[in-house]
Amino acid sequence: MTLAILVNGHAPADLGHAIAANDRGLHYGDGVFETALLIDGQVRFLDDHLKRLRESCERLSIRPPDPATLAAEITRVTGALHSGVLKIIITRGAGTRGYRPAHDVEATRIVALYAAPESPSSSGITLRWCDTRLGRNARLAGVKHLNRLEQVLAQAEWQDASIDDGLMLDTEGELVCATAGNVFIVREGALATPDLRFCGVRGIMRTRVLRAAAQLRIPASEEPLWPHDVEIADEVFLTNAIRGIRQVVALGSLQWSHGPVVERLKAAMEL
């Protein structure tokens, strides 16, 4: 449910008629986005999200929004609310027909607040392997852009409500991420997560976990991982800015119970 939305600073009179017919976000997925958690009236990791949004814009040569304007709009949509999901979309703007971006176009800013998600289960989550693969393209790797058909098709693969998310491989069979989050494994007390050199999103919570691991002196690496690495892992968990850290307890015929490293990270990060 959309609780509040501003499009270029204006609250649309009608949510069904809010976006320009020629917006490049609609025509080409030509834009980037962020989703952040509003909790206790504060946007968690807001500075991290705004920094990544700027970097994403730079990667695609989209003019980043004015920081003060964007900050004011975030304050307006979160208002007096205590919890929810903040979504910011920046598209390259409205334009004429054709792929070529014009240089004099103002980016489109969409700042929206949605209802808070259900609280995550503390007992751990169940995953599946997705059939849909991720194409490799280093030019777009790491960026939270609006070309998300692969994730849509992956989530469409299952309807079973007992499955919380699916792990995705790239077209060469390398492990990349979950459909809506990054993935970590624990092996002999050390963390590892896919290096995302070809695809996937460099998640805010992923970066926070790597930082927390360094502070806790837990060895951690970003490296190429394969399904076999998951199969022999001592612990597996997903990260995402909204749901935090979620321990995986089942994946096909695999099962995991106690996750001491996951628990240490969650405690240290107060998640």
CB of 147 to a copy of itself, least distance (A): 4
CB of 163 to a copy of itself, least distance (A): 11
Toward a copy of itself, which CB reaches closer, 163 or 190? 163
219's tokens: 């060895």
The pairing of strands 165-169 and 125-129 is parallel
Question: Which residue's entry shows tokens 């852009």?
Answer: 145
CA–CA separation, 40 vs 175, rounded Å? 35
Toward a copy of itself, which CB reaches closer, 54 or 87? 87
Are the C-beta atoms of 43 and 36 separated by less than 8 Å?
A: yes
Distances (CA, A) of 225 to 98, 99, 139, 229, 267: 39, 35, 20, 6, 26
CB of 119 to a copy of itself, least distance (A): 16
CB of 118 to a copy of itself, least distance (A): 12
Distances (CA, A) of 80 to 8, 73, 113, 167, 263: 21, 13, 12, 37, 33
103: enclosing H helix or E strand:
none
CB of 146 to a copy of itself, least distance (A): 6
CA–CA separation, 31 vs 138, rounded Å? 17
Closest CA to 199 of 129, 143, 128: 143
Toward a copy of itself, which CB reaches closer, 85 or 233? 85
Toward a copy of itself, which CB reaches closer, 21 or 68? 21
Toward a copy of itself, which CB reaches closer, 90 or 205? 90
Residues contributing to the site for a copy of itself (CB under 8 A):
1-2, 5, 7, 12-30, 33, 35, 60-61, 85, 87, 89, 91-92, 94, 96-101, 110, 112, 114, 132-140, 145-156, 171, 179-180, 199
CB of 212 to a copy of itself, least distance (A): 27
Toward a copy of itself, which CB reaches closer, 30 or 235? 30
